[in-house]
Structure 1
Amino acid sequence: MIELDHLVAGYHRQAITPSLSGIIETGSMTAIVGVNGCGKSTLLKTLAGFIPPVSGTLRWMAGRPTIGWLAQRHALESQFPLTVQDVVSMGAWPRISLLKALDRGVRMRVAAALERVGLSSMARVTIDQLSGGQFQRMLFARVLLQQAPLVMLDESFTGVDEATRRVLMALMTEMNRQGQTLLAVLHDSQRVSDYFPETLHLKAEQAYWGSTQGAAFA
């Protein structure tokens, strides 16, 4: 899916990651791991196209797909007067006009996504009333509705309860089994070793692909 050729990620031409080469295969489930400050989130944002590479290249081997993005809860987002249902419905926007009312099919998909993340009873609750775990479940429901071929998760388990982590991890595994490619920045070494067949380890001077054995987490 993505071929990296001596890719270096960073900001304002200042490198943060070491040079990276390799391929992220279609249908894979890959964790990006390493100590704090090694550039995991910066790399993910570079792959998503939010920031340009400092050097090197990345190539989409079959064209750039739609990307589902799931990050940590952002404090600013909760200030908008939206309901849980409103936010999840945004996952349908790539397929419908922003000004078009949601049809019955989309409303049913929204309801199904909310049920899968355990938020059916909170569809009309405003997002400022959600806990951190509930907020992440809502964002994941939006990604489920989007049905993107590639889903990127940037430290999405940080600050949420263990029950939410288990729910999200089960859904991620199911999505991968259905053919979606997943790429996630994670800190939990046990979760990575239990669920992610591929890992990309980042260190200050080098990066390597492989198993979770001997990985450094923080």
Structure 2
Amino acid sequence: MVAAPGVHDPAMRGIVGTDRMGRGGAMTHGAIRLEDAAATMGGQPVWQHVSGSFSPGSMTAIAGANGTGKSTLLRVIMGELPLAQGTITRGGLGPRDFGYLPQARIIDRNFPISVTDMVLGGAWRQTGAFGRADRTVRLRAAAALRRVNLEGQAERMISALSAGQFQRLLFARLLMTDAQVIVLDEPFTALDTPTTQDLLALVCEWHAQGRTIIAVLHDIHQIRTCFPDVVLLHAGRATWGRTPDILTPVTLQRAYGGARDPWPETGMQA
């Protein structure tokens, strides 16, 4: 597993985000809260009557079968999709406070851009959309690549990377954002065990720094092991709470089908 750089590493200043911590290690923003919320896509309801909150510094998985609206919930949280009804409050957070890692499969990997340039794109808050990256930003980019074990790939084109390397690259780009809220859509799908462990360790570091983590995940064992809170989407509704209370044999049977808990402590995926 790749070791994390210390918070006093000059190249990592602004990546580890120690300047935004509130008391107790939590980030200085309010809860993200939904009240009786509903979302639609193409005029069709996706989910409705959803109420719950993501506390500052919390670590929450979003689970559910395919088509239940997990990615839609992420888009609502970030403000990319308006609610059809109900309300959402973001505790003073704006678009610049969210760092987003989309599903890798929706990204065109044939786009002619180098690994370094893609990582630098994560620093848009500092450089502007078309700004030049100065030496400090480039040092941060190099440190981010080291953190995800891609320092030897900096000059390659993204099309030359393996699936695991490309996912590491997306995490390096996310490191550059220094966001208060980290939003991940299926971040570990189709990755080998070492890559998953390295990237999950990085997510846990973000959580330890007080950042709010919200991740769509399919691995029930992974959720049970690493994520204290969960939102389970099923039949247009959400069951929201502490992971041990929500991921029971009964709720999993309702959400995924089967006579009993189909994903016990084995690491199998839903």
TM range, smaller chain: over 0.9
Higher relative contact order by CA 8 Å / sep ≥ 6: 1 or 2? 1
The CA deviation at 1:171 is 0.1
Asked whether the 8 Å contact 1:72–1:136 carries over to 2, the reply is no
Identity, in percent, stands at: 41
Measure, in 2, the Cα distance between the counterparts of 1:40 and 1:124: 35
The CA deviation at 1:99 is 4.0
The RMSD of aligned alpha carbons is: 1.6
Measure, in 2, the Cα distance between the counterparts of 1:96 and 1:204: 43
Change in CA separation of 1:99 and 1:12 when aligned onto 2, cut-off 3 Å: closer
- TM-score, scaled relative to structure 2: 0.76
Match of 2:227 in 1: 196
Q: Number of residues paired by the alignment? A: 218
Residue among 50, 64, 79 paired with 1:49: 79
2:119 is equivalent to residue 105 of structure 1 = no
4+ residue segments displaced more than 6 Å: none
Measure, in 1, the Cα distance between the counterparts of 2:99 and 2:225: 23
Measure, in 2, the Cα distance between the counterparts of 1:176 and 1:158: 20
Measure, in 1, the Cα distance between the counterparts of 2:104 and 2:158: 11
2:51 is equivalent to residue 21 of structure 1 = yes
Measure, in 1, the Cα distance between the counterparts of 2:102 and 2:159: 17
Change in CA separation of 1:60 and 1:86 when aligned onto 2, cut-off 3 Å: same
Measure, in 2, the Cα distance between the counterparts of 1:75 and 1:133: 15
2:67 is equivalent to residue 40 of structure 1 = no
Match of 2:6 in 1: none
- Which deviates more from structure 2 when the two are superposed, residues 192-201 or residues 4-13? 4-13
Asked whether the 8 Å contact 2:181–2:212 carries over to 1, the reply is yes
2:97 is equivalent to residue 66 of structure 1 = yes
The CA deviation at 1:110 is 0.5
2:210 is equivalent to residue 179 of structure 1 = yes
The correspondence of residues 59-98 of structure 1 with structure 2, limited to 5 A, is: 59-64=89-94, 66-74=97-105, 76-98=107-129
Question: Which runs of 5 or more residues in structure 1 are unaligned?
Answer: none
Change in CA separation of 1:58 and 1:98 when aligned onto 2, cut-off 3 Å: closer
Question: Which runs of 5 or more residues in structure 2 are unaligned?
Answer: 1-30, 257-269
Change in CA separation of 1:76 and 1:172 when aligned onto 2, cut-off 3 Å: closer
The CA deviation at 1:150 is 0.6
Measure, in 2, the Cα distance between the counterparts of 1:68 and 1:95: 14
SS at structure 2 position matched to 1:74: helix
Asked whether the 8 Å contact 2:68–2:236 carries over to 1, the reply is no
Measure, in 1, the Cα distance between the counterparts of 2:106 and 2:232: 29
